[in-house]
Structure 1
Amino acid sequence: MKATRQLHELGQSLWLDNITRTLLDDGTLARYIAEDSITGLTSNPSIFDAAIGDGDAYDAGVHAKTLAGLSGEALFIELALEDLRRAADLFKPVFDATRQIDGWVSMEVSPLLAADTAGSIAAARHIHHKAQRDNLFVKIPGTPEGVPAIEEAIFLGIPINVTLLFSCAHYQAVAEAYMRGIERRLAAGLDPKVGSVASLFISRWDVASNPQLPAELHNKLGIAVGQQTYRAYRALLASPRWQKLAAAGAQPQRLLWASTGTKDPSAPDTLYISAFAAPDTIDTMPEKTLFAFADHGQLHGVMATDGGDADAVLAQIAKAGVDIDALARKLQQDGAEAFVKSWNQLLQRIAGKAAALADKSKGPALR
């Protein structure tokens, strides 16, 4: 059995961390669904920046929307949602078969809103309304200002993918926000079934900490943080508070492993995929990592629900001089800033394309 199928049979969802119009047009995404057990996908500003910048697949769309009077963020949202609606439709059979647990796609609010609670809520409402797809998550970062926006969005019935989580504490804060949103819906007589995932970023921990650590501790921090968070996730699902919500019809906010491509060339290219084999979770991976795991990936058992050796590893890493709490804050801040940079590049790229296409359409005689 293919390694990707083994993960699927284990109860883990495999999502693609990429979307391009070419993937949709040439049938590649449909093939990943059929052959590699891919049951959803995630996107972010960096992914769309690369997609729109590579080749001419988006040129016609950019030009048509420019002629219709759109520009900047409004043009991008329309462009992105065209792709994501198509992807959502491909995953709709999975969404229906799993009773809305799986089969999702994701669209991020502007990263410029990471510190703007009210702005994030308004943007989430706008994207949710424009998307017109039940299986589309709106992504909101789990920053301190994002947490109340997440609670309010869940209360409003907007499915949310919480992004940019780096620590167990980050996860627990957004899990609380999710449950508060569901509890408020129940109190208001509303349907408690609102989809959500909490995305914990893994590999960036090791990129940041490896230079400070002895070789024997390289590429261990991300896995240890994930183990610690998985333990908290399992404890929450077993808690009386959650059990009460589940009995009322709520569905779990699933834990999603993000940033699972190996960044260290000396480490196995399937390192994080094997380490995070865990039921009732999602692993979203770039194509390169998907190919690697499908080709030669191996499972080495299931992630321990009690955290395994996470506490011992984290203690060793702290003893070696890494301030794990401070690094979690820095990683979240750096991640938010990186998405802002990609967002600005993306809008500049779209504006440049729009201008070039408008100039080209005038023809040489009119220039």
Structure 2
Amino acid sequence: MFFELALEDLTQAADLFRPIHDATAGVDGWVSLEVSPLLADDTAGTIKAAAQLFARAQRPNLFIKIPGTGAGIPAIEASIFAGVPINVTLLFSREHYIAAAEAYMRGIERRIAAGLDPKVASVASIFVSRWDVAVTDKASDQFRNRLGIAIAMRTYKAYRDLLASPRWQKLAASGARPQRLLWASTGTKDPAASDILYIQALAAPDTINTMPEKTLLAFAEHGKVNDVLPVDEGYAEAVLAEFTREGINDEALAAELQREGTAAFAKSWHDLMSRISAKS
């Protein structure tokens, strides 16, 4: 019942965005529908669900969301090979992003080897603000709201490096489209910080920022982009070194945030199923 409702909702949204999708040759105008969060550790189940949902929707501008978990990574590769556009979710670090990007490229490489069209769209979604929430009580006040942006800057450097790599250039020459980097969780959680903190800090070419409506309206009212995100990771690494000295292990925290995100998605899913069951 949920997927009946979700598909009705999202296919309508996809149709509303279709003129944008067509005008930008498939770059913009996308909507996303996630597979059940209960499949986060089920590779085969995720592959099957992604294919079924995309086939049922019958919309070229519908991303299927797959989490970048250990089980999700091979599902992403298989789904891209099958021609299903994928929004990789629950990525928290440079290493998470690289794993997702490599899965995408393997899927495209397999399509080229099989004589299939290499144009299968994908985005890789990095969750930003949750880093700062996680260390609110673990680091000194001078470090407030700095970790998420530093992680994003480090990831953006990896993204630009990948797009310049011979491996990607070979795929691009065959007609493949880059998997774009997407900033997720960009609403400011700290009431003492700027309400557009992550929007201004993460303005960068070839990226997407999925802003909550409140943040979008705030930026429309008083936002201004003075500088774009630098590719030089020196600043980011200096900030991350400060957090290491504060006792924060970013690699361990990234894994913890991904586990917590997966659990939170599953809880929301269970709550929703209970709600639908009660109402039906």
Please classify the TM superposition score into its range, dividing by the shorter chain length. over 0.9
For these two proteins, the number of residue pairs brought into alignment is 280
Give the secondary structure class of the aligned counterpart of 2:137. Answer: helix
Unaligned runs of 5+ in 2: none
Q: In the alignment, does 2:257 pair up with 1:331?
A: yes
How far has the Cα of 1:285 moved from its partner? Answer: 1.0
Structure 2: which amino acid aligns with 1:337?
A
> What TM-score does the superposition give when structure 2 sets the normalisation length?
0.99
Other-structure match for 1:175: 101
CA distance in 1, matches of 2:226, 2:242: 23
Other-structure match for 2:146: 220
Question: Contact 1:227–1:308 at 8 Å: present in 2 too?
Answer: no
Other-structure match for 1:202: 128
Other-structure match for 1:3: none
Other-structure match for 1:98: 24
CA distance in 2, matches of 1:182, 1:307: 28
How far has the Cα of 1:307 moved from its partner? Answer: 2.5
Deviations 1:148-174 (A, max 9, x none): 000000000000000000000000001
Structure 1: which amino acid aligns with 2:124?
A
Other-structure match for 2:179: 253
Structure 1's consecutive aligned runs of 4 or more residues displaced over 2 angstroms after TM superposition are none
> What TM-score does the superposition give when structure 1 sets the normalisation length?
0.76
Q: In the alignment, does 2:189 pair up with 1:263?
A: yes
Q: In the alignment, does 2:55 pair up with 1:144?
A: no
Other-structure match for 2:35: 109
Structure 1: which amino acid aligns with 2:239?
V
CA distance in 1, matches of 2:35, 2:14: 18
How far has the Cα of 1:97 moved from its partner? Answer: 1.2
How far has the Cα of 1:306 moved from its partner? Answer: 1.9
How far has the Cα of 1:211 moved from its partner? Answer: 1.0
Give the secondary structure class of the aligned counterpart of 2:269. Answer: helix
Which shifted more, 299-308 or 208-217?
Answer: 299-308
CA distance in 2, matches of 1:113, 1:191: 28
How far has the Cα of 1:351 moved from its partner? Answer: 1.2
Which shifted more, 84-93 or 174-183?
Answer: 84-93
Question: Greater RCO between the two (CA within 8 Å, min separation 6)?
Answer: 1
CA distance in 2, matches of 1:289, 1:350: 30
Other-structure match for 1:342: 268
Give 1 or 2 for the bigger CA radius of gyration.
1
Deviations 1:300-353 (A, max 9, x none): 300001225100000001111101111000000000000000000011111112
Structure 2: which amino acid aligns with 1:100?
G
Structure 2: which amino acid aligns with 1:278?
A
Other-structure match for 1:131: 57
Deviations 1:240-266 (A, max 9, x none): 100010010000000000000000111
Q: In the alignment, does 2:260 pair up with 1:307?
A: no
Residue number among 186, 200, 219 corresponding to 1:293 in the alignment: 219
Deviations 1:165-194 (A, max 9, x none): 000000000100000000000000000000
Q: In the alignment, does 2:164 pair up with 1:242?
A: no
Give the secondary structure class of the aligned counterpart of 1:100. Answer: coil
Other-structure match for 2:159: 233
Give the secondary structure class of the aligned counterpart of 2:181. Answer: strand
Structure 1: which amino acid aligns with 2:62?
L
Deviations 1:196-223 (A, max 9, x none): 0000000000000121111111110000
RMSD over equivalenced CA pairs, Å = 0.7
CA distance in 2, matches of 1:146, 1:87: 26
Unaligned runs of 5+ in 1: 1-74, 355-367
Give the secondary structure class of the aligned counterpart of 1:210. Answer: coil
Deviations 1:5-31 (A, max 9, x none): xxxxxxxxxxxxxxxxxxxxxxxxxxx
Question: Contact 1:275–1:300 at 8 Å: present in 2 too?
Answer: no
Identity over the aligned pairs, expressed in percent?
A: 65
Give the secondary structure class of the aligned counterpart of 1:212. Answer: coil
